[in-house]
Structure 1
Amino acid sequence: MIPVNTSYVSGVALSEMDGEMKMLLMKRVKGGFWCHVAGSIEEGELGWQAIVREFQEETKIVASKLYNAQFLEQFYEENVNVIELIPVFVVICPPNQNVELNHEHTEFKWCTLEEALALAPYPNQHAVFKHVWSYFVDKPINALFRVKV
Protein backbone atom coordinates (compact mmCIF):
# COMPACT_ATOMS: atom_id res chain seq x y z
CA MET A 1 0.00 0.00 0.00
CA ILE A 2 1.17 3.53 -0.80
CA PRO A 3 -0.11 6.34 1.44
CA VAL A 4 -1.36 9.61 -0.08
CA ASN A 5 -0.13 12.93 1.32
CA THR A 6 -2.28 16.04 0.86
CA SER A 7 -0.44 18.39 3.22
CA TYR A 8 1.24 20.60 0.58
CA VAL A 9 0.14 23.37 -1.78
CA SER A 10 1.87 25.02 -4.72
CA GLY A 11 1.44 28.17 -6.72
CA VAL A 12 2.52 29.87 -9.91
CA ALA A 13 2.97 33.64 -10.05
CA LEU A 14 2.22 35.44 -13.31
CA SER A 15 3.26 39.01 -14.09
CA GLU A 16 3.47 41.10 -17.22
CA MET A 17 7.18 41.88 -17.44
CA ASP A 18 7.97 44.72 -19.84
CA GLY A 19 4.76 44.01 -21.77
CA GLU A 20 5.09 40.20 -21.96
CA MET A 21 3.37 37.73 -19.61
CA LYS A 22 5.86 35.61 -17.64
CA MET A 23 5.80 33.03 -14.84
CA LEU A 24 8.09 33.01 -11.84
CA LEU A 25 10.60 30.20 -11.34
CA MET A 26 13.10 29.99 -8.51
CA LYS A 27 16.19 27.83 -8.03
CA ARG A 28 15.95 25.80 -4.82
CA VAL A 29 18.87 25.55 -2.43
CA LYS A 30 17.82 21.96 -1.58
CA GLY A 31 18.27 19.98 -4.79
CA GLY A 32 19.44 22.89 -6.93
CA PHE A 33 16.51 22.67 -9.37
CA TRP A 34 14.09 25.27 -10.73
CA CYS A 35 10.55 25.29 -9.35
CA HIS A 36 7.49 27.36 -8.47
CA VAL A 37 6.31 28.29 -4.97
CA ALA A 38 5.31 25.38 -2.71
CA GLY A 39 5.04 24.52 0.93
CA SER A 40 3.27 22.77 3.79
CA ILE A 41 -0.18 23.53 5.09
CA GLU A 42 0.22 24.46 8.76
CA GLU A 43 -2.20 23.40 11.50
CA GLY A 44 -5.43 25.38 11.31
CA GLU A 45 -4.77 26.67 7.77
CA LEU A 46 -6.87 26.13 4.70
CA GLY A 47 -5.00 25.33 1.48
CA TRP A 48 -5.48 28.79 0.00
CA GLN A 49 -4.28 30.42 3.23
CA ALA A 50 -1.13 28.29 3.12
CA ILE A 51 -0.22 29.38 -0.42
CA VAL A 52 -0.81 33.05 0.43
CA ARG A 53 1.60 32.64 3.37
CA GLU A 54 4.13 30.71 1.27
CA PHE A 55 4.19 33.42 -1.42
CA GLN A 56 4.83 36.03 1.26
CA GLU A 57 7.57 33.97 2.95
CA GLU A 58 9.39 32.81 -0.19
CA THR A 59 9.06 35.85 -2.48
CA LYS A 60 7.48 38.76 -0.55
CA ILE A 61 4.65 38.67 -3.14
CA VAL A 62 1.27 39.62 -1.66
CA ALA A 63 -1.21 37.17 -3.19
CA SER A 64 -4.23 39.46 -3.44
CA LYS A 65 -5.41 38.17 -6.85
CA LEU A 66 -5.50 34.44 -6.10
CA TYR A 67 -7.03 31.70 -8.24
CA ASN A 68 -7.63 27.98 -7.88
CA ALA A 69 -5.79 26.61 -10.92
CA GLN A 70 -8.17 23.62 -11.03
CA PHE A 71 -5.17 21.31 -11.19
CA LEU A 72 -3.59 18.75 -8.86
CA GLU A 73 0.14 18.22 -9.03
CA GLN A 74 0.74 14.55 -8.42
CA PHE A 75 3.83 12.41 -8.14
CA TYR A 76 5.30 9.44 -6.31
CA GLU A 77 8.05 10.23 -3.80
CA GLU A 78 10.04 7.00 -3.68
CA ASN A 79 12.29 7.85 -0.72
CA VAL A 80 9.26 7.97 1.62
CA ASN A 81 6.89 5.75 -0.43
CA VAL A 82 4.17 8.41 -0.65
CA ILE A 83 1.94 9.71 -3.44
CA GLU A 84 1.82 13.50 -3.21
CA LEU A 85 -1.40 15.28 -4.28
CA ILE A 86 -0.85 19.04 -4.32
CA PRO A 87 -3.48 21.62 -5.25
CA VAL A 88 -2.08 24.34 -7.51
CA PHE A 89 -2.94 28.03 -7.20
CA VAL A 90 -2.19 30.99 -9.47
CA VAL A 91 -1.35 34.51 -8.34
CA ILE A 92 -1.83 37.30 -10.85
CA CYS A 93 0.73 39.95 -9.91
CA PRO A 94 0.92 43.60 -10.93
CA PRO A 95 3.14 44.34 -13.95
CA ASN A 96 6.89 44.08 -13.32
CA GLN A 97 6.37 42.39 -9.94
CA ASN A 98 9.34 42.67 -7.57
CA VAL A 99 10.65 39.48 -5.91
CA GLU A 100 12.67 39.12 -2.71
CA LEU A 101 13.77 35.54 -2.17
CA ASN A 102 14.16 33.94 1.24
CA HIS A 103 16.86 31.42 2.21
CA GLU A 104 15.14 28.52 0.37
CA HIS A 105 16.15 29.78 -3.10
CA THR A 106 19.32 31.15 -4.68
CA GLU A 107 17.91 32.94 -7.73
CA PHE A 108 14.72 33.63 -9.64
CA LYS A 109 13.69 34.24 -13.23
CA TRP A 110 10.51 35.49 -14.88
CA CYS A 111 10.00 33.03 -17.75
CA THR A 112 7.94 32.48 -20.86
CA LEU A 113 6.31 29.04 -20.97
CA GLU A 114 9.11 27.76 -23.21
CA GLU A 115 11.81 29.05 -20.84
CA ALA A 116 10.04 27.49 -17.84
CA LEU A 117 9.80 24.12 -19.58
CA ALA A 118 13.51 24.27 -20.43
CA LEU A 119 14.51 25.08 -16.83
CA ALA A 120 12.21 22.78 -14.82
CA PRO A 121 13.38 19.16 -14.68
CA TYR A 122 10.19 17.29 -13.74
CA PRO A 123 7.35 16.21 -16.05
CA ASN A 124 4.77 17.16 -13.42
CA GLN A 125 6.15 20.71 -13.35
CA HIS A 126 5.75 20.82 -17.13
CA ALA A 127 2.12 19.70 -16.79
CA VAL A 128 1.46 22.42 -14.18
CA PHE A 129 3.08 25.15 -16.28
CA LYS A 130 1.28 24.14 -19.49
CA HIS A 131 -2.07 24.01 -17.66
CA VAL A 132 -1.53 27.40 -16.00
CA TRP A 133 -0.43 28.99 -19.28
CA SER A 134 -3.43 27.54 -21.12
CA TYR A 135 -6.06 28.69 -18.59
CA PHE A 136 -4.50 31.90 -17.25
CA VAL A 137 -2.52 33.37 -20.15
CA ASP A 138 -3.85 32.01 -23.46
CA LYS A 139 -7.53 32.33 -22.43
CA PRO A 140 -9.39 34.93 -20.39
CA ILE A 141 -9.37 33.84 -16.74
CA ASN A 142 -12.61 32.23 -15.63
CA ALA A 143 -14.10 34.25 -12.76
CA LEU A 144 -15.24 30.98 -11.11
CA PHE A 145 -11.58 30.18 -10.35
CA ARG A 146 -11.12 33.28 -8.13
CA VAL A 147 -10.37 32.66 -4.46
CA LYS A 148 -11.62 35.38 -2.11
CA VAL A 149 -8.57 36.32 -0.03
Structure 2
Amino acid sequence: MGGRYGDVPLRCRAVAAAIVAGKGEAARILALRRAGEVAGGAWGLVTGSIEPGETAIAAIAREIAEETGIEATELFASGLTETFYFGPDNVLELMPIFVILVPAPVAVRLDHGSDQFRWCDRAEAADLFSFAGQRRALADIWHDFVDRAPAPFRRLL
Protein backbone atom coordinates (compact mmCIF):
# COMPACT_ATOMS: atom_id res chain seq x y z
CA MET A 1 0.00 0.00 0.00
CA GLY A 2 1.25 3.48 -0.70
CA GLY A 3 0.49 7.09 -1.54
CA ARG A 4 2.17 10.47 -1.35
CA TYR A 5 2.36 13.30 1.12
CA GLY A 6 3.96 16.19 -0.71
CA ASP A 7 7.28 14.92 -2.04
CA VAL A 8 7.53 12.05 0.45
CA PRO A 9 5.81 8.74 -0.37
CA LEU A 10 3.62 7.02 2.22
CA ARG A 11 3.92 3.28 2.68
CA CYS A 12 2.17 0.69 4.83
CA ARG A 13 3.98 -2.62 4.83
CA ALA A 14 3.84 -3.60 8.49
CA VAL A 15 1.42 -3.95 11.40
CA ALA A 16 1.62 -3.83 15.20
CA ALA A 17 -0.48 -5.17 18.05
CA ALA A 18 -0.87 -4.45 21.73
CA ILE A 19 -1.77 -7.64 23.59
CA VAL A 20 -3.66 -6.57 26.71
CA ALA A 21 -4.43 -9.00 29.53
CA GLY A 22 -6.97 -8.29 32.23
CA LYS A 23 -8.79 -5.13 33.32
CA GLY A 24 -8.36 -2.29 35.77
CA GLU A 25 -5.42 -2.34 38.18
CA ALA A 26 -4.58 -5.93 37.20
CA ALA A 27 -4.25 -5.12 33.47
CA ARG A 28 -0.95 -5.91 31.77
CA ILE A 29 0.43 -5.38 28.26
CA LEU A 30 2.88 -7.70 26.56
CA ALA A 31 6.27 -6.19 25.73
CA LEU A 32 8.73 -8.02 23.47
CA ARG A 33 12.46 -7.39 23.16
CA ARG A 34 13.62 -7.66 19.56
CA ALA A 35 16.51 -9.91 18.63
CA GLY A 36 18.71 -9.62 15.56
CA GLU A 37 20.26 -6.84 13.52
CA VAL A 38 17.19 -4.65 12.94
CA ALA A 39 16.42 -2.80 16.20
CA GLY A 40 17.94 -5.61 18.28
CA GLY A 41 17.43 -4.92 21.99
CA ALA A 42 14.47 -2.59 21.42
CA TRP A 43 11.33 -3.24 23.50
CA GLY A 44 7.85 -2.81 22.07
CA LEU A 45 4.65 -4.27 20.73
CA VAL A 46 4.27 -7.28 18.46
CA THR A 47 5.12 -6.11 14.93
CA GLY A 48 5.48 -7.74 11.57
CA SER A 49 5.29 -7.46 7.81
CA ILE A 50 2.26 -7.67 5.59
CA GLU A 51 2.90 -10.39 3.01
CA PRO A 52 1.86 -9.97 -0.65
CA GLY A 53 -1.89 -10.47 -1.05
CA GLU A 54 -2.45 -10.41 2.73
CA THR A 55 -4.75 -7.98 4.56
CA ALA A 56 -3.49 -6.08 7.58
CA ILE A 57 -5.92 -8.04 9.78
CA ALA A 58 -4.66 -11.40 8.51
CA ALA A 59 -1.06 -10.21 8.87
CA ILE A 60 -1.38 -9.20 12.51
CA ALA A 61 -3.25 -12.38 13.47
CA ARG A 62 -0.47 -14.42 11.81
CA GLU A 63 2.33 -12.35 13.37
CA ILE A 64 0.84 -12.67 16.87
CA ALA A 65 0.63 -16.45 16.50
CA GLU A 66 4.16 -16.69 15.08
CA GLU A 67 5.83 -14.32 17.54
CA THR A 68 4.00 -15.25 20.76
CA GLY A 69 2.00 -18.44 20.23
CA ILE A 70 -1.15 -16.52 21.22
CA GLU A 71 -4.29 -16.94 19.12
CA ALA A 72 -6.01 -13.67 18.23
CA THR A 73 -9.64 -14.40 19.15
CA GLU A 74 -10.58 -10.84 20.19
CA LEU A 75 -8.97 -8.45 17.70
CA PHE A 76 -9.78 -4.74 17.67
CA ALA A 77 -8.81 -1.69 15.63
CA SER A 78 -7.21 0.85 17.95
CA GLY A 79 -7.66 3.73 15.52
CA LEU A 80 -3.95 4.47 15.94
CA THR A 81 -0.95 4.24 13.65
CA GLU A 82 2.72 4.38 14.38
CA THR A 83 4.32 6.75 11.88
CA PHE A 84 8.02 7.10 11.23
CA TYR A 85 10.38 8.26 8.51
CA PHE A 86 12.47 5.56 6.82
CA GLY A 87 15.47 7.42 5.40
CA PRO A 88 16.98 4.78 3.09
CA ASP A 89 13.79 4.77 0.99
CA ASN A 90 12.70 8.37 1.71
CA VAL A 91 9.24 7.23 2.81
CA LEU A 92 6.88 7.81 5.70
CA GLU A 93 5.96 4.41 7.08
CA LEU A 94 2.46 3.99 8.51
CA MET A 95 1.88 1.00 10.77
CA PRO A 96 -1.68 0.36 12.03
CA ILE A 97 -1.84 -0.69 15.67
CA PHE A 98 -4.34 -3.38 16.60
CA VAL A 99 -5.35 -4.57 20.07
CA ILE A 100 -5.80 -8.16 21.25
CA LEU A 101 -7.63 -8.77 24.52
CA VAL A 102 -7.01 -11.83 26.68
CA PRO A 103 -8.56 -12.38 30.13
CA ALA A 104 -5.21 -12.70 31.97
CA PRO A 105 -1.51 -12.99 31.15
CA VAL A 106 -1.01 -16.22 29.21
CA ALA A 107 1.98 -18.35 28.32
CA VAL A 108 4.15 -16.83 25.60
CA ARG A 109 6.20 -18.85 23.11
CA LEU A 110 8.76 -16.57 21.47
CA ASP A 111 10.04 -17.13 17.95
CA HIS A 112 13.46 -16.05 16.60
CA GLY A 113 12.40 -12.39 16.32
CA SER A 114 12.40 -11.75 20.07
CA ASP A 115 14.59 -12.94 22.93
CA GLN A 116 12.62 -11.71 25.96
CA PHE A 117 9.09 -10.77 26.98
CA ARG A 118 7.40 -9.12 29.95
CA TRP A 119 3.80 -8.61 31.01
CA CYS A 120 3.92 -4.95 32.13
CA ASP A 121 1.62 -2.49 33.82
CA ARG A 122 1.13 0.81 32.02
CA ALA A 123 3.99 2.63 33.78
CA GLU A 124 6.46 -0.23 33.17
CA ALA A 125 5.52 -0.37 29.49
CA ALA A 126 5.90 3.40 29.08
CA ASP A 127 9.40 3.19 30.58
CA LEU A 128 10.35 0.08 28.63
CA PHE A 129 9.03 0.78 25.10
CA SER A 130 11.82 1.97 22.81
CA PHE A 131 9.63 3.58 20.13
CA ALA A 132 8.01 6.98 20.74
CA GLY A 133 4.93 6.15 18.65
CA GLN A 134 4.24 3.06 20.74
CA ARG A 135 4.72 4.98 24.00
CA ARG A 136 2.24 7.63 22.81
CA ALA A 137 -0.26 4.99 21.69
CA LEU A 138 -0.14 3.33 25.11
CA ALA A 139 -2.23 6.07 26.77
CA ASP A 140 -5.05 5.79 24.21
CA ILE A 141 -4.97 1.99 24.26
CA TRP A 142 -5.21 2.00 28.06
CA HIS A 143 -8.09 4.49 27.97
CA ASP A 144 -10.09 2.68 25.27
CA PHE A 145 -9.40 -0.97 26.16
CA VAL A 146 -8.44 -1.17 29.86
CA ASP A 147 -10.32 1.66 31.59
CA ARG A 148 -13.53 0.88 29.69
CA ALA A 149 -14.96 -1.72 27.36
CA PRO A 150 -13.99 -1.19 23.71
CA ALA A 151 -16.69 0.17 21.42
CA PRO A 152 -18.33 -2.64 19.41
CA PHE A 153 -17.45 -0.98 16.07
CA ARG A 154 -13.75 -1.54 16.82
CA ARG A 155 -14.06 -5.34 16.90
CA LEU A 156 -12.55 -7.07 13.85
CA LEU A 157 -12.52 -10.72 15.06
Contact kept, 8 Å, 2:85 with 2:93, in 1: the verdict is yes
SS at match of 1:147: coil
Q: CA deviation at 1:78?
A: 2.4
Per the alignment, residue 14 of structure 1 pairs with 20
**Residue in 2 that maps onto 1:104:** 113
TM-score (ref. length: structure 1): 0.92
Taking only aligned residues, the RMSD between alpha carbons, in angstroms, comes to: 1.5
Tell me the residue number matched to 1:113.
Answer: 122
Distance 2:134 2:87 in 1: 17
In structure 1, the residue matched to 2:33 is 27
- Residue 138 of structure 1 aligns to which amino acid in structure 2? D
Runs of 5+ unmatched residues, structure 2: 1-6
Find runs of 4+ consecutive structure 1 residues off by over 3 angstroms. none
Give the drift of 1:101. Answer: 0.5
Q: Corresponding residue for 1:146?
A: 155
Letter in 1 for 2:103: P
Aligned counterpart, 2:61: 52
The answer for the alignment partner of 1:127 in structure 2 is 136
Q: Report the residue type matching 1:33 in the other structure.
A: A
Report how far residue 80 of structure 1 moved: 3.2
CA distance in 2, matches of 1:99, 1:49: 20
Q: Would you say how many aligned residue pairs link Structure 1 and Structure 2?
A: 147
Identity score, percent:
34
| Deviation readout 1:95-146 (Å, 9 max, x if unpaired) | 2311110011110000111100101122211112112111101122111100
Q: What TM-score does the superposition give when structure 2 sets the normalisation length?
A: 0.88
Contact kept? 2:105, 2:119, Cα under 8 Å: no
Question: Letter of the aligned partner of 1:62 in structure 2?
Answer: E
2:85 corresponds to: 76
